[in-house]
Amino acid sequence: MYFSKAIYYDGLTSTPHPVELKYDENKNDISFVTADKIDHSWLLFSCIVEIKPHLLRISSKDNTGQQIKVEDLQFIYHFNRLFQEGKVSWYTRLLRMNFLKWILFISGFMVLIISLYMLFLPVLSDALCSVIPKDVDNEIGEKSLNSFLSDYEIDSNKTVVLNQYLREIKTPKNNKFKIIVVKSKEINAFALPNGSIVIFSEMLNKIKHSSQLNALLGHEISHVTHRHSMRSLCKNMFTYLWISLLFSDVSTVQTILAENAYTLQSLSFSREFEKEADFGSIDLLRQNGLPVEGIIELMQIISVEQKSSIPQFLSTHPMGNKRIEYNKKEIGKLKPYMIQEKKVEKLNEIWGEIQK
């Protein structure tokens, strides 16, 4: 910031008015107070500036006839260095831009912000999800399940038998899993954050062997253990949730999630989440001593159905040839392991009851 004595002409008379002039190089404006105690502030981009070796003249474009004259050589030198040579702040350069440049600047800035947002969104949303207690998973999972079941009829017999089937499979201890079978012609299945696995009756009709059912259960169990529903919900609602967390308002986070719990069963998982759930299913089956080929057979069944119609399952579980191929490669990497024949036999026995 620089100061100098100057002469001000008001444009009404030829009378010179001595003033103390202040030049703010950051805002790129000049300001002064006249004898009648009136404050004046001129942005230099809206002025006509003339710089001569021994004189600086600044005329206002907004107020015709008004001008400032400065003869202070030191002030002129610094003014010339900062203004005439263009060594001014970014703020000043923005103010000097014309309308087209402003549009280009704003467009570029918005593209940059959106690109950074999309780039870091998965990392930031996962970080956000990690601070949400798992009790919230149970709360909104139960709420979502109740909302969903209000529109469907439960197949009680198959639900009982399938939960008996599930108990024969060793699942992660951090979660409690249960199966609900609903009567529907849709080919679909999904898992909720509280460990509830909903299977549509038509999906069971398409499954031909217990190994395929094992693959389906392993896949849905992996969605739960990796918190895919919660992570997807956090990603979709990242902005609202992040603002709440900035103000340390965890209760608001829970409220927002709970209010959107009904959307969980229709969430479409990313390819990354589907791959993670597929590999999780393969690993779960291996740990249980069960054959893993069922996951490929299950995908082939869904792919065949896709040719005649688009199963609801595909809207939440994207399918494709690449997915089948990378699962085949993952299975090919497995080291030999012992198949637990007694467990396989028991599961086949219960599977027979399910098919009745």
Pick the more confident residue, 310 or 98.
Answer: 98
Considering the four listed CATH numbers 3.40.800.10, 2.30.29.30, 3.40.630.10, 3.30.70.260, the one that applies to the domain covering 2-96 is 2.30.29.30
Q: How many residues does the chain have?
A: 356
The contacts of residue 313 (CB under 8 Å, 6+ apart) are: 186, 187, 188, 189, 203, 302
Number of H helices, E strands in the chain: 15, 10
3-state SS class at 33: strand
Residue ranges per structural domain of the chain: 2-96, 131-355
**Chain segment 175-213, per-residue pLDDT in tens:** 899 999 999 999 899 999 999 999 999 999 999 999 999
The average confidence (pLDDT) of the chain is 84
Write the DSSP assignment of 214-264 as a string of letters: HHHHHHHHHHHHTTHHHHHHHHHTHHHHHHHHHTT-HHHHHHHHHHTGGGG
3-state SS class at 332: helix
- Cα–Cα dist 127/1, whole Å: 44
Statement: residue 103 has pLDDT above 90: no
Flag the least confident range among 48-62, 86-100, 175-189: 86-100
Pick the more confident residue, 210 or 132.
Answer: 210
Sign of CA dihedral 182, 270, 142, 191: positive
What's the whole-number mean pLDDT along residues 29-37? 93
The pLDDT value recorded for residue 121 is: 66
The pLDDT value recorded for residue 317 is: 54
**Chain segment 285-334, per-residue pLDDT in tens:** 999 999 999 999 998 888 776 655 544 554 455 556 788 899 999 999 99
Pick the more confident residue, 242 or 135.
Answer: 135
Statement: residue 85 has pLDDT above 70: no
- Cα–Cα dist 300/238, whole Å: 35
**Under 8 Å between Cβ of 237 and 256:** yes
The pLDDT value recorded for residue 219 is: 96
Closest CA to 254 of 123, 139, 125: 139
Pick the more confident residue, 79 or 96.
Answer: 79
- The residue assigned the tokens 């979502």 is 144
Pick the more confident residue, 127 or 22.
Answer: 22
Pick the more confident residue, 354 or 238.
Answer: 354
